[in-house]
Amino acid sequence: MRFCLFSLLTPLSSLLIFPAAAEPGDVKTFPSPQTTTARLRIHGSTDIENFAAVIADYQKLSPGTQVEYSDLVAQDIYSRYLRSAPRDRADLLISSGMDLQTKLVNDGHALVHRSPATAGLPAWSQWRHEAFGISYEPIVIVYNKRLLAPAQVPRTRRQLLALLRDPKAKLAGRVGTYDAGRSSVGYLLATQDHQLGSMAGALQAALGDNAVVLEERTGPLLDRVARGQLALAYNVLGSYAQARIDAGAPLGIVLPEDYTLVLLRTALIPREAANAVEAGRFLDYLISPRGQAVLARQVGLQPIRSASGAPLAPQAGDGARVRALRPIPLGPGLLVYLDALKRRQFLDAWRSTVQPQGARPGTPPP
């Protein structure tokens, strides 16, 4: 029976510089259906082709609003905001880099936003009334069903480690994950693994021993797995994988049973937003029952709130896989690994194990 990620999770309720569907950096303007009375500029890490459905639905409610959406990786949302002149900054930042969003809030770059819509959110999904979770993002293992037999598919990190160490599996150059040095989401997930899992170091070393292929974005990893260039990818965004499965890709998804990280896709209104009022309206729409339904049904993101509009608790649901979900808390704890010294030390250790021979990111061995 096909595993459906959405059906499982619906009951759940100093400047850092990285090297720098739609290509990241693409910009699209959605003209207002009627005479323009408001303009809204959004920088988001959700692909334009997916988020377009959200904007189109919002414009049914606000037909005088013109929306400009820039598709950026999470790190670029953060760094572009800090580098831009106030007049060039977006009105709303929507990012899967919840640690970078938290840092913007902590450093005084976000506006307080209180409304009946935000009052309905659970406390764990917002911080200081400035950063707000709009959806869940489960972090999963994705594999090619044609390359791994059911008995080989790892259900826990311990099983994944055993598979990577098994010479009969022949996984050298056929496993992928995020490059923690280039991907802010990859860095966040790698640091969370080290806080939660006792075998994180051993797993990283095993990935390195298998010449792991490293990518900055989810799409290229999933492309490689779907084409059979990779047998599996570790720690990737579950919603993107489910969309590929729905489109017919020969992929399978595993929510690791020891623990499954869940990050929040968050939104904040910058302090210097030129159109803060319209940004607040759009944010309220995103966390309204209608907006949550559009995010779930047309974008494939897991909703923060139930269909009835009630907030969902992280521990809600049943079954071992649901109980293993570990939402990453939104708050100051996310700032620890953004300290420049701690970041450098972590990445030095990460590279020494994951890239022991200095392998080139994104390139499997011949």
Q: What is the mean pLDDT of residues 93-97?
A: 94
Q: What is the mean pLDDT of residues 6-24?
A: 40
Q: Is the pLDDT of residue 353 over 50?
A: yes
CB 241 within 8 A of CB 85: no
Most confident by average pLDDT, 9-18, 59-68, 76-85: 59-68
How would you class 340 by CB atoms within 10 Å of its CB: exposed for 0-12, middle for 13-18, buried for 19 or more?
exposed
Flag the least confident range among 217-221, 263-267, 292-296, 360-364: 360-364
Q: Is the pLDDT of residue 95 over 90?
A: yes
DSSP β-bridge partners for residue 232: 143, 175
Flag the least confident range among 253-257, 316-320, 334-338, 339-343: 316-320
Query: Which pLDDT belongs to residue 206?
Result: 97
What mean pLDDT value characterizes the chain? 86
CB 191 within 8 A of CB 16: no
Query: Which pLDDT belongs to residue 311?
Result: 47
pLDDT tens for 196-249 read 877 899 999 999 999 999 999 899 999 999 999 999 999 999 988 988 999 999
CB 295 within 8 A of CB 54: yes
Extract the tokens encoding 26. 């693409």
Three-state secondary-structure class, residue 17 = coil
Confidence of residue 21 (pLDDT cuts 50, 70, 90): very low
Q: What is the mean pLDDT of residues 332-359?
A: 89
Greatest CA span in the chain, whole angstroms?
A: 65
* 175-178 and 126-127 strand pairing: unpaired
What global pTM score does this model have? 0.81
Q: Any idea what DSSP says for residue 125? A: G
Extract the tokens encoding 45. 């890490």
Contacts of 315 (CB under 8 A, 6+ apart): 323
Among 358, 357, 343, 356, CA closest to 190: 343
Q: Is the pLDDT of residue 365 over 70?
A: no
Q: Report in angstroms the alpha-carbon separations of 298 from 57, 146, 230, 292, 323.
A: 10, 28, 28, 10, 27
Q: What is the Cα–Cα distance from 158 to 141, expressed in whole angstroms?
A: 13
- Residue given tokens 């692909």 in the structure block: 47
Query: Which pLDDT belongs to residue 357?
Result: 62
Three-state secondary-structure class, residue 74 = helix
Q: What is the Cα–Cα distance from 68 to 53, expressed in whole angstroms?
A: 14
First to last CA, the chain: 36
How would you class 114 by CB atoms within 10 Å of its CB: exposed for 0-12, middle for 13-18, buried for 19 or more?
exposed
